[in-house]
Amino acid sequence: MANKTDKNSYTILFAIVMVVIVGSLLAGFASGLKPRIEANEKFEKQQNILYAMGINNNVGTGDVAFISTDSVSEIFSKFITKQMVIQGDQATEDEEAYLIDIKKESTKAKNGDYQRRLPLFIGQKDGSELYIMPVRGKGLWDAIWGFVAVDKEMIVQGVYFDHKGETPGLGAEIKQRYFMDDFLGEQLLDNGAFQGIKVAKGNNDPKNLVKDDYEVDALAGATITGDGVSAMLKKDLAMYVPYLKTLNN
Amino acid sequence: MGLLSKKDAKLIKDPLLDDNPITIQVLGICSALAITAQLKPSIVMAVSVIFVLGIGNVVISLMRNIIPSKIRIIVQLIVVASLVIIVDQVLKAYAYELSKTLSVFVGLIITNCIIMGRFEAFALGNGPWRAFLDGIGNALGYAVILLAVGFFRELLGSGTLFGIPVLGDPIEKTGLYSTGYENNGFMLMPPMALIIVGLIIWVQRSRNTTLIED
């Protein structure tokens, strides 16, 4: 036995057979579970969008709590009245705008004169209209992304941030409520000029009482993640400003 | 354990106590630190490792006579990696929230030294049934420590168990908190897991002095 398994030809044959078997097994598994996994990702997106517009199961000042997965589809269609796709000057309604992959869109936009498709979600809450925009950028280690809900005056009504691999306890805290809640009420426009919101160190307003300083207090030890959040908000929200301005006319 | 012979029972029992993979062999420490801030991910991680190690040991044991010795480590890696990918996909499909909490650590089961260690040390030289018992035993030994660490870290760090408050409300100052007790945020940091594992090792070795090396 030992002789046979020591031969090079046997070794190579074994490797080939093993790879084929394992490869097809995994491919079968992956494609079998794909629909469920995609459904989960869809629910997560809906939960995040609803979270940004303040529809969640948060209790007091506790942890982030989303609408439960079972009911999210129903609640999503109840509160999100319209989904739009903005492309250049065109704004069209699109039932599946929330499935647009903004990572792909931004890569495409880098090459040549491709007009980015920007998804925009219009929600109704307590009788007022909210505009929810996705944002995506870079943190320290990997991607960060989120959703920002504003009203007609572009005053922030809620945000949700998430990240792929920021440092636990430092950059990863951007998805904690004490950071996200600071954005509530912040203004984005200074007399009509878009300012964005800066995640600022040495902020004069650590309690975040001033809402028109275009700043929120930074997280200690997470400078680069914080800068990433600032840059992401500045870059991605700016693209929506022309359209949102037309709403007030 | 009437079902098992004395020798087989030993395969399950030893890793739980006197030959525990974490506290005695000091393997698999990395994941024990990373995911034990709460009980729930600890349990899922434990179950995943039981699955991977139980099945992996059997697969390797069945193949032990046909695996070319030159590439046996690679073959072992492929077996672990495939099983881990299956676990990862199943979690993503049926326990999405959890799979997000565990994120990279599921993938890191591949590098969990307990698994490769058992493949190499046991499965390659024993039949499938004994290999299965050995795999389950070692994974259970890992699980016991994970749960113990997860229990203390969640209880002392967040005042909850499985996310349910058990010590009262830290904000309303009810229950234990009314006496001035505070959650220890340190417990949520990975290094504290090391201290708890250290304490377990200490207790274990002071109870059974034969475990102490020179």
DSSP per-residue codes, B67-123: S-GGGHHHHHHHHHHHHHHHHHHHHHHH-HHHHHHHTHHHHGGGG-HHHHHHHHHTG
- pLDDT exceeding 70 applies to what percent of chain A? 97
* Structural domain boundaries enclosing A52: 43-247
- Two tokens at B193? 């897991």
More confidently predicted of A111 and B88? B88
- Confidence (pLDDT) at A249: 65
Contact flag A61-B189 (C-beta cutoff 8 Å): no
Residue A7, domain member (yes or no) = no
More confidently predicted of B34 and A249? B34
- Confidence (pLDDT) at B3: 66
- pLDDT exceeding 70 applies to what percent of chain B? 96
Average model confidence (pLDDT) for chain A?
86
- Confidence (pLDDT) at B177: 79
The domain locations on chain B are: 7-142
Best mutation target, A6, A18, A42, A170, to test chain B (most B CBs within 10 A): A18
**Position B1 pLDDT exceeds 50:** no
**Position A23 pLDDT exceeds 90:** yes
Query: Which residue(s) pair with A136 in the sheet?
Result: A145
**Position B78 pLDDT exceeds 80:** yes
Residue A16, domain member (yes or no) = no
- Does B92 contact A at CB distance below 8 Å? yes
Best mutation target, B51, B72, B78, to test chain A (most A CBs within 10 A): B78
Residue A172, domain member (yes or no) = yes
Contact flag B68-A169 (C-beta cutoff 8 Å): no
Residue A200, domain member (yes or no) = yes
- Comparing A55-64, A78-87, A209-218, the range with the smallest average pLDDT is A55-64
Distances B211 to A71, B19, B206 between C-alpha atoms, Å? 54, 9, 9
Q: Which ipTM value was assigned to this complex? A: 0.70
Number of H helices, E strands in chain A: 7, 10
Q: Sorting pLDDT into bands at 50, 70 and 90, what band is A2?
A: low
**Position B173 pLDDT exceeds 50:** yes
Name which of A115, A129, A155, A181 is nearest A237 in CA terms.
Answer: A155
pTM: 0.72
Average model confidence (pLDDT) for chain B?
83
More confidently predicted of A199 and B166? A199
Contact flag B67-A10 (C-beta cutoff 8 Å): no
Give mean pLDDT, residues B5-15. Answer: 80
- Cβ neighbours of residue A71 under 8 Å, at least 6 residues apart? none
Q: How many domains does chain A have?
A: 1
Measure in Å the smallest separation between the Cα of A40 and chain B Cα atoms. 7
Give mean pLDDT, residues B96-110. Answer: 75
**Position B2 pLDDT exceeds 70:** no
- Confidence (pLDDT) at B168: 77
CB atoms within 10 A of CB A11: 16
Specify which of B35-49, B80-94, B103-117 reaches the highest per-range mean pLDDT: B80-94
Query: Which residue(s) pair with A123 in the sheet?
Result: A80, A130
Distance CA A22, CA A176 (A): 40
Give mean pLDDT, residues B129-135. Answer: 91
Residue A2, domain member (yes or no) = no
Residue A65, domain member (yes or no) = yes
Residue A70, domain member (yes or no) = yes
- Two tokens at A17? 């057979």
